Amino acid sequence: KLMNDSDSRWAYIQKRRNRIQFIIFSSVILFLFSCNKKCDIELAQNDFLIFGHFYGECFGEGCVETFKLTSDKLFEDLNDNYTGTDFNFIELEDDAFEQVEDLIDYFPNQLLNESEAILGCPDCADQGGLLIQYSENGTLQSWRIDQSQSSVPDYLHEFMDKVNEKIYLINN
């Protein structure tokens, strides 16, 4: 009888161990694949997203538009520099911020792992380009993206549409 108790106890321990291993394995798999398309990226206190468009063969105020989105404010660049450098941001009204505050929700996580800073050939054929800069914890990443969606990865299309939509909303 002592042998049976020991065997059944051992079987119970093995079953329990297998369940725990299954739960741990399942949890790891769920965690790894929960962000397969895009994860929520949030703008913390000192983080920001700079977004804008640029068109070289263009005249007027709308040729270069650049904005800076923080967790609670929206700014517009006054310099309108085609190269996407030398910014001079001024704060915009709260209603402009409210129109674009959700843009970060469309930011594709895959862009953070992109090895290239230039995607496609921005403005090479007068189609324009997008400037995107993302700063998180003081680390700045920057991209220039072709406006022609056939020239860039599919994962960018929805975000590109949203960037263009938000620029339009701010300007109208």
- In tens digits, what is the pLDDT along the chain, a chain of 172 residues? 455 666 677 777 777 777 777 676 655 555 444 444 445 677 778 899 999 999 988 888 889 999 999 999 999 999 998 988 889 999 999 999 999 999 999 999 999 999 999 999 999 998 999 999 999 999 999 999 999 999 999 999 999 999 999 999 999 9
| Burial profile 111-144: b = 16 or more Cβ within 10 angstroms, e = fewer | beebeeeebbebbeeeebbbbbbbbbeeeeeebb
Name the residue with tokens 């206190």.
45
Residue 37 is predicted with a pLDDT of 42
For residue 63, how many C-alpha atoms fall within 13 Å in the half-sphere facing its CB? 14
Name the residue with tokens 């994860």.
39
Residue 35 is predicted with a pLDDT of 44
Residue 50 is predicted with a pLDDT of 97
pTM (predicted TM-score): 0.76
